[in-house]
């Protein structure tokens, strides 16, 4: 399942992040890629270790954690550290698969889902589409600034060359509490159903209680703590 969530960052938050990011220093993106991805990674990564970088990460992380649809779709257990990437002048990121594991020690996580939060207005750069291989063909997106694209880390994907302007994004990975993608999709459907039914039914109604019980018990069956 691949979805685009609109306005995970509001226009104000995009502006705030963009202005903070403009004060950061950058280094070659190949430094943070795995051995195969390194060959095709042609972008730069912001240094987020200082106070400004920390402020950026905090702002974005808070928006991610409170987003109800992202929570329902991803069932996040752990988030990777966020990265800010920039591509211009024909840069991009050729077809690759993300590393299965990231980080080390207690911070090590399995990458179940990858996401990109677009920070640049799409009218300000040419190219730079994110293209993800799906069983039904390539899914190509270039959404508005503030939108988040969530897709399975199991896929081959690429960022098409940026032929003019500059593409700035925030990327990260999620280890889901529900490892199996099919199980995650069933739970996402049920959560959407719950949200729809909640408009007509009281939370204490037998229907809503049974649905709550079903979702909770499927999480026990399929989820990791």
Ligand X SMILES: O=C(O)CCC(=O)C(=O)O
Q: Work out whether 113 is an interface residue with ligand X (CB under 6 A).
A: no
By the 8 A CB rule, do 18 and 168 touch?
yes
When asked if residue 93 is in the footprint of ligand X (CB under 6 A), the reply is: yes
> From CA 154, how far away is CA 217, in angstroms rounded?
27
188 binds ligand X (CB under 6 A): no
Q: CA dist 26 to 58, 144, 158, 189, Å?
A: 19, 24, 21, 40
Q: Is 42 in the site for ligand X (CB under 6 A)?
A: no
* Choice between 75 and 116, CB closer to Fe ion: 116
Q: Mark residues 92-111: x for contact with Fe ion by CB under 5 A, - for none.
A: ------x-------------
Phi and psi for 182 in degrees, rounded to 5? -70, -40
Q: How far apart are the first and last CA of the chain?
A: 23
Q: Is the Cβ of residue 98 or residue 129 nearer to Fe ion in the bound state?
A: 98
Residues counted in the chain: 225
Binds ligand X (CB under 6 A): choice among 20, 63, 169, 177: 169
43/52 with CB nearer Fe ion: 43
The distance of closest approach from Cβ of residue 26 to ligand X in the complex, given in angstroms and rounded to an integer, is 14
72 lies in the binding site for ligand X (CB under 6 A): no
- Min dist CB 15 to ligand X, Å, is 20
> To 5 degrees, how large is the angle CA 138–CA 89–CA 142?
30
Helices (H), the chain: 11-21, 35-38, 51-65, 68-74, 181-197, 206-222
> Closest separation between CB of residue 72 and ligand X, Å?
22
Judged by CB under 6 A, does residue 171 bind ligand X?
Answer: yes
Residue carrying structure tokens 């694209």: 149
Q: Which is nearer to ligand X, 76 or 91 (CB)?
A: 91
Task: For residue 167, say whether it is annotated as part of any ligand binding site.
Answer: yes
Q: Which residues contact 74 (CB under 8 A, 6 or more apart)?
A: 112, 113, 150, 174, 176, 184
Q: Does 157 bind ligand X (CB under 6 A)?
A: yes
Q: List the single partner that 169 binds among Fe ion, ligand X, none, CB under 5 to 8 Å by kind.
A: ligand X
Q: What is the binding site for ligand X (CB under 6 A)?
A: 85, 93, 98, 116, 130, 157, 159, 169, 171
């Amino acid at each position: 399942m691949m979805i685009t969530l609109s306005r995970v960052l509001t226009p104000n938050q995009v502006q705030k992040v963009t202005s903070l990011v403009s004060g950061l220093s950058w280094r070659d993106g190949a430094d943070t890629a795995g051995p195969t991805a390194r060959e095709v990674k042609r972008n730069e990564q912001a240094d987020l270790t200082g106070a400004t970088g920390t402020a950026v990460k905090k702002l974005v992380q808070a928006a991610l954690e409170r987003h109800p649809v992202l929570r329902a779709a991803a069932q996040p257990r752990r988030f990777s550290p966020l990265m800010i990437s920039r591509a211009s002048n024909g840069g991009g990121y050729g077809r690759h698969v993300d590393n299965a594991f990231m980080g080390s020690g207690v911070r090590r996580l399995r990458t179940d889902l990858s996401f990109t939060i677009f920070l640049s207005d799409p009218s300000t750069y040419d190219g730079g589409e994110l293209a993800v291989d799906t069983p039904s063909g390539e899914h190509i997106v270039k959404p508005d600034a503030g939108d988040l694209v969530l897709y399975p880390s199991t896929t081959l994907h690429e960022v098409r060359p940026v032929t003019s302007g500059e593409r700035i994004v925030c990327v990260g990975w999620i280890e889901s509490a529900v490892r199996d993608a099919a199980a995650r999709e069933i739970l996402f459907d049920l959560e959407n159903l719950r949200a729809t039914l909640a408009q007509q039914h009281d939370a204490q109604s037998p229907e809503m209680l049974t649905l709550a019980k079903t979702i909770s018990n499927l999480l026990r069956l399929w989820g990791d703590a």
